[in-house]
């Protein structure tokens, strides 16, 4: 946004092209092909959506409103008096589609326009630049400084979205198909997938996506049905055409004019590509097939990548690597211990609410193997303590104490157990361990401060909890967004609550239905559990009740 605003104000809006933006903003090489790589078009789509959301909410009364019209990358501003037409932020000859109708706006000077453009650009750039890192592996060996480490490349899952087709004779369904397509791209993008926009004629089995070795295609259609709409969506493998997921929706008349009902359909499709969904399962199977020659250091690097980035997209590769490794080399206690930690992660974050405890059963078996190989292993004892916490075993406290004694300066041990002890109800001991974890860490580990958020909620200090939660630096960890939502709701900060709620539901579309079951899995002590539930409801989430809740 900053780049296109600057170019438009400089009078170069008519020369803005996708190729220029790709090189100047996204660092693409001169060989970039805008026709085959829709990166700039997808990001422009997201930016248009963000602008629309801003001006339909807190920016509704702004004297100057900015647009990025379809067909152009030059910024357009509506301002001035009610009888003045919308004008470009700077002279441009670019051809653009007419913008959506705007409410009348009063006049203002070009200097006010420039100031407003700069302010909005800075705010949007700041909003989309938020990110963070967390947890590294539990080994006490210090990692080299960030500047000395080679950059880590994360291969995001690619999914191509083909515009939904209108197979009816109802013209209004053209608008419905287009709206659903655009919303699907936005929702899938929020899941950190690499989203590609393609045309129906391009999609056929056996064709790779944007140079990728593997990818998926989402297609769909809209038809007439009983006066309403019959919507079908499906996800297939790009190379083989194998069906991964499909669903049909029979919607009553008027859905083309009801964004909330459209959003419900889109959320369902997004859930298929989210954690534990069919796409996730397919990626896990693919990772397993390529993990058969990796050794312990390779697997540990995959695990470090998953933990440090809090990125669910990295989970399948780490899990598959350790599953293969313990099969080939069952004498490795660290491999069994890490496999147990991953199984616990799967239970706590991904599938515990629906798998009937299967992940915990696998965790128990892996912990037992790790301890059988080496009972003094710090990694094995940490995995045991974590397993005991999530199964409600009172031996958790003794195991936690023993694990700390085995390696009293290990920041991972101190931080993980500090969080668990605080959630268990022993905030005094838990916060002490977190303080020590920070002291032993070479770099800030803000995720450990989740324990402080828990403690403030337990002590009925939600605004202090919110201040801590906003600094957790765990952008891809849905629990961080959940706890931030709860703290904001309990604090009464409507803006923070709305933002956190949106991020939470984007990452976990079915959270409102799953929330109470997830809290049961996490075994928060009663005060913390009640504070989180009340905060989530105060933030506007409609949690599905269970008997006795």
Q: Is residue 141 part of a domain?
A: no
Domain membership flag for residue 402 = yes
Q: Which of 128, 150, 168 is the last residue of a domain?
A: 128
Instruction: State whether 171 and 31 are in the same domain.
Output: no
- Give the domain CATH number at 391: 1.25.40.10
Domain assignment present for 139 = no
SS3 241: coil
- 51-55, 149-153, 328-332: which has the minimum mean pLDDT? 149-153
Report the Cα 428 to chain-centroid distance in Å: 32
Assess whether 49 and 122 both reside in one domain: yes
Same domain? For 265 and 286 the reply is no
Q: Are 437 and 320 found together in one domain?
A: yes
| 220-252 pLDDT, tens digit each | 999 988 889 999 999 888 767 778 888 999 999
Contacts of 366 (CB under 8 A, 6+ apart): 326, 336, 337, 339, 340, 343, 383
Q: Report if residue 415 sits inside a domain.
A: yes
Query: Are both 167 and 312 inside the same structural domain?
Result: no
Residue 259: CATH number of its domain: 3.40.50.10070
User: Are residues 262 and 287 both part of a single domain?
Assistant: no
Question: d(Cα 283, Cα 269) in Å, to the nearest integer?
Answer: 17
298 and 178 part of one domain: no
Between strands 228-237 and 216-225, the pairing is antiparallel
Pair 346, 492 in one domain: yes
Answer whether 179's CB lies under 8 Å from 262's CB.
yes
- How does residue 12 score in pLDDT terms, banded at 50, 70 and 90? confident
Distances from the Cα of 138 to the Cα of 145, 336, 419, angstroms: 17, 14, 15
| Residues 503 and 189 sit within 8 Å (Cβ to Cβ) | no
- Claim to verify: residue 237 and residue 362 sit in the same structural domain: no
HEC string for 293-339: CCCHHHHHHHHHHHHHHCCHHHHHHHHHHHHHHHHHCCCCHHHHHHH
- Do the bridges between strand 87-88 and strand 76-78 make them parallel or antiparallel, or are there none, so unpaired? antiparallel
Same domain, 25 and 117: yes
Tokens in use for 336?
A: 């069994």
Tens of pLDDT along 456-511? 999 999 999 999 999 987 787 888 999 999 999 999 999 999 999 998 888 888 88
**Nearest one of 329, 260, 245 to 291, comparing CA atoms:** 329
pLDDT greater than 80 at residue 148: no
Domain end, chosen from 112, 128, 144, is at: 128
The verdict on 395 and 490 lying in the same domain is yes
Q: Is residue 136 part of a domain?
A: no
Task: Assess whether 323 and 442 both reside in one domain.
Answer: yes
DSSP string, 471-486: T---TT-HHHHHHHHH
Q: Model pTM?
A: 0.52
Does the residue 142 lie in any domain? no
- What does the DSSP 8-state code read for residue 165? E
The mean pLDDT of 4-15, rounded to a whole number, is: 75
Residue 493 per-residue DSSP state: -
- CA distance linking residue 294 with residue 324, whole number of Å: 8
Q: Is residue 148 part of a domain?
A: no
Q: Is 226 left (phi over 0), alpha (psi -120 to 50) or beta?
A: left
Domain around 16: 2-128
Q: What is the pLDDT, as a whole number, of residue 506? A: 84
How many domains are there within the chain?
3
- Final residue belonging to a domain, choices 128, 147, 175: 128
Question: Does residue 135 lie within any of the structural domains?
Answer: no
For the chain, report the end-to-end CA distance as a whole number of angstroms.
46
pLDDT of residue 354: 65
């Amino acid at each position: 946004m900053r780049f296109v605003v600057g170019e438009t104000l400089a009078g170069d809006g008519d020369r803005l092209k996708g190729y220029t933006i790709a090189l100047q903003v996204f660092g693409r090489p001169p060989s970039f092909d805008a026709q085959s790589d829709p990166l700039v078009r997808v990001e422009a789509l997201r930016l248009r959506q963000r602008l629309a959301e801003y001006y339909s909410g807190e920016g509704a009364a702004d004297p100057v409103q900015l647009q990025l019209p379809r067909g152009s990358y030059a910024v357009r501003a509506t301002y001035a008096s009610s009888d003045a037409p919308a004008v470009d932020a700077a002279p441009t000859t670019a051809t653009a589609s007419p913008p959506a109708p705007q409410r009348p706006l009063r006049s203002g000077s070009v200097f006010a326009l420039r100031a407003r453009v700069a302010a909005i650009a800075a705010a949007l750039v700041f909003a989309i630049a938020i990110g963070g890192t967390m947890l590294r592996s539990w080994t006490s060996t210090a990692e080299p400084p960030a500047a000395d480490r080679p950059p880590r490349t994360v291969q995001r899952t690619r999914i191509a979205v083909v515009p939904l087709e209108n197979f009816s004779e109802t013209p209004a369904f053209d608008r419905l198909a287009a709206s659903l397509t655009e919303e699907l791209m936005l929702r899938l993008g929020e899941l950190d997938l690499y989203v590609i926009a393609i045309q129906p004629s391009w999609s056929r089995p056996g064709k790779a996506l944007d140079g990728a070795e593997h990818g998926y295609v989402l297609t769909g259609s809209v038809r007439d049905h009983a006066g309403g709409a019959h919507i079908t969506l499906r996800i297939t493998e790009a190379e083989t055409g194998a069906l991964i997921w499909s669903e049909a929706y029979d919607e009553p008349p008027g859905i083309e004019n009801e964004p909330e009902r459209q959003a419900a359909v889109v959320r369902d499709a997004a859930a298929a590509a989210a954690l534990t969904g069919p796409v996730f399962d397919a990626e896990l199977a693919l990772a397993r097939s390529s993990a058969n020659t990796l050794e312990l250091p390779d697997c540990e690097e995959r695990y470090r990548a998953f933990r440090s980035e809090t990125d669910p997209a990295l989970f399948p590769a780490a899990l598959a690597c350790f599953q293969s490794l313990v099969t080939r080399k069952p004498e490795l206690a660290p491999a069994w211990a890490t496999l147990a930690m991953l199984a616990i992660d799967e239970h706590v974050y991904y599938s515990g609410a629906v798998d009937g405890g299967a992940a915990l059963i696998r965790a128990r078996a892996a912990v037992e193997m790790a301890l059988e190989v080496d009972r003094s292993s710090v990694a094995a004892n940490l995995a045991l303590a974590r397993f005991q916490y999530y199964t409600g075993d009172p031996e958790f406290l003794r195991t936690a104490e023993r694990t700390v004694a085995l390696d009293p300066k290990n920041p991972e041990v101190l931080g993980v157990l500090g969080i668990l002890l605080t959630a268990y109800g022993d905030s005094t001991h838990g916060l002490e361990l977190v303080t020590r974890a920070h002291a032993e860490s070479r770099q800030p580990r803000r995720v450990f401060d989740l324990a402080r958020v828990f403690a403030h909620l337990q002590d009925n200090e939600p605004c202090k909890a919110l201040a801590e939660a906003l600094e957790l630096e765990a952008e891809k960890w849905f629990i961080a967004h959940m706890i931030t939502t709860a703290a904001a709701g309990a604090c009464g900060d409507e803006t923070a609550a709305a933002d956190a709620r949106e991020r939470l539901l984007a990452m976990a579309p079915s959270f409102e239905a799953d929330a109470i079951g997830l809290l049961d899995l996490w075994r928060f002590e009663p005060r913390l559990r009640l504070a989180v539930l009340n905060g989530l409801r105060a933030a506007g989430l409609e949690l599905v009740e269970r008997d006795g809740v």
